[in-house]
Structure 1
């Protein structure tokens, strides 16, 4: 187990070094930064890495603001979108997948299979403006851009609007909560399409395989109803299969969120990076690459820890390796 732990730490360090090299290469695209790094590239890389370890990301040349404060402002809205979309995908995808497995011989199960396969090819960057236009034409309240109405003032505490509104003691706080949820609804629904379809497909395939096992058929002959089989066998053996897929799904949702933030006027890190690219602000681009890479590494580490705790076979694998 100790050898496996050191191996994972070593692989993580290699990924971090590669990430810092990529970020430094982007950083050196700026002529001003290249001048300061002369005459030795490696000495400039060492100074850059030391600043990163101290949490100093530098400043943006488009305004001279601290990049760390800017990222702490634009990253939470994007993460809020990702977490809301993943929560909605789990709440919809799990029941749909289970329903499709139990009704696999009927038209309902076949429709769920077809929709889940077709939904994986939906272009989010195309569906987002269409839904926004349709909601606006129909006069729906969710046809709103931005994180909330600028008429309201929410104190920046965590950066997550759904959390910061509870620190607001204004008498019209209920209206602020309603406004935040209205602005969050449309981008969340758009981003939840692909992970919902993927979770539905994974759950359906796993549940169908479990229903074909002999111990499930034996339980059915003993008179167990569907709810007992669902609680005793299917949920227990299906949920651990979804957890290893969460890093991939979260990364995919993060990439999709960065694409649609400009369309929906969401003040997230994707929109901020697009502006940095337009202004050739290489300091901001390199800092954004570092932050997004660290977030993905953190998600993978948390997933491995969860799997180590809840999955006995995975825990056994740590000792075997």
Structure 2
């Protein structure tokens, strides 16, 4: 196991290097001038040239890339060209909001997706199976931004059950750390703030969880049906094992292996792919921050945040491989 982890960690070096080159190249191919965005369209040429020189934008691309990588290796993700704030500090301020939203969506997807997939496999070809897989197909096909707007229209505008945007009303300001509003409000014993933060979280979590829920449900059903045909499952049934024991102990544990792959990568995907949800619900997370940086041609934010997302994906792959051995000890990592 130790040798496997060491090999995987070594493989992350060329992977992240390739990602850094790709992102850096693509960012500089995007039309637009950061200096022009900062100073405005009516700025004179002298001011634009001075600002480009100050930000190092007039240097050759190779020199800019080497300077960028030198700062990365020293733990410096750069300074925002627009706001002048540290990219790392800005990311850490917004990351708890994205993580809170992603974990909530993943929890919904796991609970509903697993339960639906298991019941659909047990009741194969039944009305429940057909309806649940039909809804799963619709969930995969449904655009997140459209679903978010529909949820806002019905549950916020018409019914008034949930807030339209944001994470917390100003009336429930939390004194102290405000990274994870649900946890912080509970620690502070501020139940009104907790319920308000939960109400703000419901609709974005549902919108973000729709596609993962559908994928997990379909994957669980398919994997369960395959395992149910195995000899050891039929042997357990012939021995008179209780149906719940056959499903949960003999079948589900082995069926979870491919599902674990999906769930592990899905968390990384949710962290990186919550851009549409955060934009729709004005959620102050990393995704919305990256969209604003892209509109403003803020190169350091785009490059560094993309590199962090790549690190998250690599880490998720590593965790999934380790979980394989925990779920099924017969798997040997080499």
Q: If the TM-score is normalised by the length of the shorter chain, which range does it land in?
A: 0.7 to 0.9
Q: CA deviation at 1:207?
A: 1.2
Matches within 5 A, 1:253-292: 253-292=270-309
Per-residue CA deviations over 1:22-63 (Å, capped at 9, x if unaligned) read 344367675737973776654543332221122212221222
Match of 1:216 in 2: 233
2:322 is aligned, of 294, 297, 305, to: 305
Match of 2:14 in 1: 14
More off after superposition, 128-137 vs 46-55:
46-55
Residue 158 of structure 2 corresponds to residue 138 of structure 1: yes
Inter-partner Cα distance in structure 2 for 1:235 and 1:295: 28
1:249 is aligned, of 261, 266, 286, to: 266
Per-residue CA deviations over 1:137-185 (Å, capped at 9, x if unaligned) read 332332331111122222463722222224436xxx1100000000000
Inter-partner Cα distance in structure 1 for 2:283 and 2:53: 31
Inter-partner Cα distance in structure 2 for 1:269 and 1:156: 21
Per-residue CA deviations over 1:162-221 (Å, capped at 9, x if unaligned) read 22224436xxx1100000000000011111111111111111111112222233233333
2:221 is aligned, of 174, 195, 204, to: 204
Residue 149 of structure 2 corresponds to residue 149 of structure 1: no
Q: CA deviation at 1:92?
A: 0.8
| SS of residue in 1 equivalent to 2:107 | helix
Instruction: Give the superposed CA RMSD.
Output: 2.6
Per-residue CA deviations over 1:206-256 (Å, capped at 9, x if unaligned) read 111222223323333333331121132112212222111224322443354
Inter-partner Cα distance in structure 2 for 1:271 and 1:127: 18
- Structure 2: which 5+ runs fail to align? 36-51
Inter-partner Cα distance in structure 1 for 2:79 and 2:223: 49
Distance 1:20 1:204, change over 3 A: same
| SS of residue in 2 equivalent to 1:312 | coil
Distance 1:152 1:227, change over 3 A: same
Inter-partner Cα distance in structure 1 for 2:252 and 2:235: 18
Paired positions, count = 314
Residue 293 of structure 2 corresponds to residue 293 of structure 1: no
- Structure 1: which 5+ runs fail to align? none
Runs of 4+ in 1 over 6 A off after TM superposition: 37-40
Q: CA deviation at 1:304?
A: 2.0
Match of 1:129 in 2: 149
| SS of residue in 2 equivalent to 1:74 | helix
Inter-partner Cα distance in structure 1 for 2:200 and 2:161: 8
Give the TM-score normalised by structure 2: 0.84
Distance 1:137 1:48, change over 3 A: closer
Preserved contact between residue 27 and residue 282 of structure 1 (Cα < 8 Å): yes
1:62 is aligned, of 73, 76, 82, to: 82
